[in-house]
Amino acid sequence: MGKHALLSASSSHRWLNCPPSARLCEQYEDKGSSYAAEGTDAHTLGEYKLKTALGIRAKNPTASLTYYSEEMEECAAGYAYYIMELVETAKQTCNDPVVLIEQRLDFSKYVEGGFGTGDCVVIADGMLHIVDYKHGQGVLVEAAENFQMMLYTLGALELFDGIYDIDTVSMTVYQPRRDNISTHTVFKESLYQWAEKVLKPTAKLAYAGEGEFRCGDWCQFCKAKHDCRKRAEQNIELAKYEFKLPPLLEDDEVESILGRIDELVSWASDIKNYALQAALSGKHWSGWKLVEGRSNRKYTNDEAVADTVSAAGYDPYEHKVMGITAMEKALGKSKFAELLGGLVEKPQGKPTLVPESDKRAAIHTAKYDFNDYEEENPNG
């Protein structure tokens, strides 16, 4: 099953918010990325670790993993340990809980052609638990209102609701590189209601390529984001402010801009990259030309340079302590904490303006003197 469903669970955040984007994205090639490939390796290792912990024979895939690292090893081991804790908890109320790994889950009852793969499903009397492993560290993933998890759960209910007396369902995102374990539990019936009232009609629109285009954070992974007209219209609308300085704008205008400025910057970057790639493929943009960018000098052979400089009586090497991220990756999180936990500090972060929905606590402005802060942090 190498082919993805048109209305896949992994892309559901996008097509449930912007139904016509599903068909629009069909015309774009799925190029993949190194991040996705690394995530695939991490899932493969996690699957092996979990099977081994459960006493299921499995071949160690480590030698064939392109992105294998000590960090990935720790993440996979932690994932297996977490699942085993869930299983032990389930055994307190059920003698023989069922554990399914990389289980195909079909939710086509609500979504045309809809299916996905659940990383781990634990079923016990009265309880269904879905766990999704996320190896990425760029975006923090929450379990609450997570459409991908909700679709997986509906697929699992299709398989087991008639066999087990399930009342509640729990959905967990296990994201080790963000130290994030997010769990959301709901009554089964509330999920069924959402499926009938929201999911089913929206999926019908998406499959037909109908509905309204809408912009939001779901645009981030949309294949059409660089030339989507709706996204362009929304961002160009900011031009009505004619880029006046804030004192010339009303408070509500500044607030409106603040809410959309990150998306504006992201959109502008996408357009610029799209135009560059098109130009590299032969496209001519009126008023623009391709030129060779600036570059820095580099050695043609590092080893020969080191030998030559050493022979002349000089030390060719820089000597400095590895950065924290590189050191933690080299030692592993547990060894890093053991050896260097008392030698690492986290300075106060630079103040930044974020939406009220952000989970970080608000700071008291009286604590900060802007001029003093600028002097202490000249490089920002």
Structural domains present in the chain: 18-208 (3.90.320), 217-280 (no CATH)
Q: Which helix (H) or strand (E) segment is 116 a member of?
A: strand 115-124
For the chain, the maximum distance between any two Cα atoms, rounded to a whole number of angstroms, is 80
State the pLDDT at residue 241.
Answer: 60
Q: What is the DSSP string of 191-212?
A: HHHHIIIIIHHHHHHHHHT-S-
Which of 64-68, 260-264, 312-316 is least confident? 260-264
Which of 10-14, 73-77, 202-206, 282-286 is least confident? 282-286
State the pLDDT at residue 273.
Answer: 79
Task: Return the exposure string of 317-331: e unless at least 16 CB atoms fall within 10 Å of the residue's CB, then b.
Answer: eeeeeeeeeeebbeb
Q: What is the mean pLDDT of the chain?
A: 85
Task: Calculate mean pLDDT across residues 331-343.
Answer: 89
State the pLDDT at residue 199.
Answer: 96
Could you give phi then psi for residue 299, rounded to 5 degrees? -75, 145
Amino acid at 72: M
Is 203 in contact with 114 (CB distance < 8 Å)? yes
- Is pLDDT above 90 for 254? no
- Is pLDDT above 50 for 377? no
User: Token pair of 266, please?
Assistant: 């992201």
Give the confidence band of 366 by pLDDT, cuts at 50, 70, 90. Answer: low
- Is pLDDT above 80 for 358? no
State the pLDDT at residue 164.
Answer: 81
* Interval 297-309: pLDDT, tens: 899 999 999 999 9
Q: Which residue has the tokens 């053991």?
A: 338
For residues 151 and 283, the model is more confident at: 151
- Is pLDDT above 50 for 1? no
* Interval 84-111: pLDDT, tens: 999 998 888 888 889 999 999 999 999 9
Is 333 in contact with 75 (CB distance < 8 Å)? no
Residues of the chain with pLDDT > 90, as a percent, come to 45
State the pLDDT at residue 238.
Answer: 63
State the pLDDT at residue 54.
Answer: 93
User: Token pair of 117, please?
Assistant: 């793969």
User: Token pair of 231, please?
Assistant: 């996204």
For residues 157 and 270, the model is more confident at: 157
Distance of CA 283 to the CA centre of its chain: 32
- Is pLDDT above 90 for 277? no
* Interval 72-83: pLDDT, tens: 999 999 999 999
Listed in sequence order, the residues at least 6 apart from 67 whose beta carbon sits closer than 8 Å to its beta carbon are 34, 37, 38, 41, 42
* Interval 141-154: pLDDT, tens: 999 999 999 999 99
- Is pLDDT above 50 for 226? yes
